[in-house]
Amino acid sequence: MVTYEPASTGLIITDPYNDFISEGGKRWPQLQEVAEAVGLIEHMRQLMSAARAAGIQIFYSRHRRWRPGDYEQWRNATPYLLRAAGIQLFAKGSWGGQWHPDFEPQPGDVILHEHWAQSGFANTDLDVQLKQHGVSKLILIGLIANTCVESTARFGMEAGYHITLVRDATAAFSFEAMHAAHEINGPTVANEITDTASLVTALAT
């Protein structure tokens, strides 16, 4: 059984923006079916609460909040990024680019530099923040299972971190994408793939 020592464990919550997980968010209609099926928001709440109770450091991994001109002059911007820019996803200063009210950062949480694409590590301060906090075990929750969460997990594995994925504390645009994230790709990068109830019990002990 994996143990999660508070001093060396970090919980990374990825992109809990209104545009993803609030009613009226730009991507909520695409995420809603999967999110509600797995109990995403309630499970994220439970894990955040359990981590805080255990004294585990919380890190907020956040996608670039759209600004005018983003990606327009990039040579190799992907269609995925361009579509997000086209709808001004997470626009800076907008309601959609604010945190879901249940996941507002608390004093002592680490708010990471924004990532441009998918990995929470690439071109951010995540690695140095983890090292400075003495963290070697990462628990990843949030959005989206097969993009930002998976990319962060993969980068973290390559950098030598212990990776835990939580099947029901993340969501994607389809059940097929969830299957890929947790049953096909996840086992190639994660040390542990679990569920919220099991993880809450582990954190409490």
**Is the Cα dihedral 18, 22, 27, 31 positive or negative?**
positive
In a domain, 168, yes or no: yes
- For the chain, what percent of residues have pLDDT higher than 90? 99
> Residue 57: exposed, middle, or buried by beta-carbon count in 10 A (0-12, 13-18, 19+)?
buried
What is the domain extent for residue 134?
6-204
- 139 with 47: CB under 8 angstroms? yes
Euclidean distance between CA atoms 129 and 119, whole angstroms? 15
**Residue 205: per-residue pLDDT:** 87
**Residue 90: per-residue pLDDT:** 98
pLDDT per residue as tens digits for the range 33-79: 999 999 999 999 999 999 999 999 999 999 999 999 999 999 999 99
- Predicted TM-score (pTM) of the model is 0.97
In a domain, 31, yes or no: yes
In a domain, 68, yes or no: yes
Mean pLDDT over the full length of the chain: 98
In a domain, 24, yes or no: yes
In a domain, 82, yes or no: yes
**Residue 1: per-residue pLDDT:** 80
In the numeric block, the tokens 């709440």 are attached to: 45
In a domain, 21, yes or no: yes
Per-residue buried b or exposed e for 191-204, using 16+ beta carbons within 10 Å of the residue's own CB: ebbbebeebbebbe
Tally of domains within the chain: 1
Euclidean distance between CA atoms 3 and 9, whole angstroms? 9
**Angle 166-167-170 from CA coordinates, rounded to 5°:** 80
Are β-strands 57-61 and 110-111 bridged in parallel, bridged antiparallel, or unpaired?
A: parallel
| Phi, psi of 111, rounded to the nearest 5 degrees | -95, 110
In a domain, 1, yes or no: no
In a domain, 10, yes or no: yes
In CATH, what number is assigned to the domain containing residue 199? 3.40.50.850
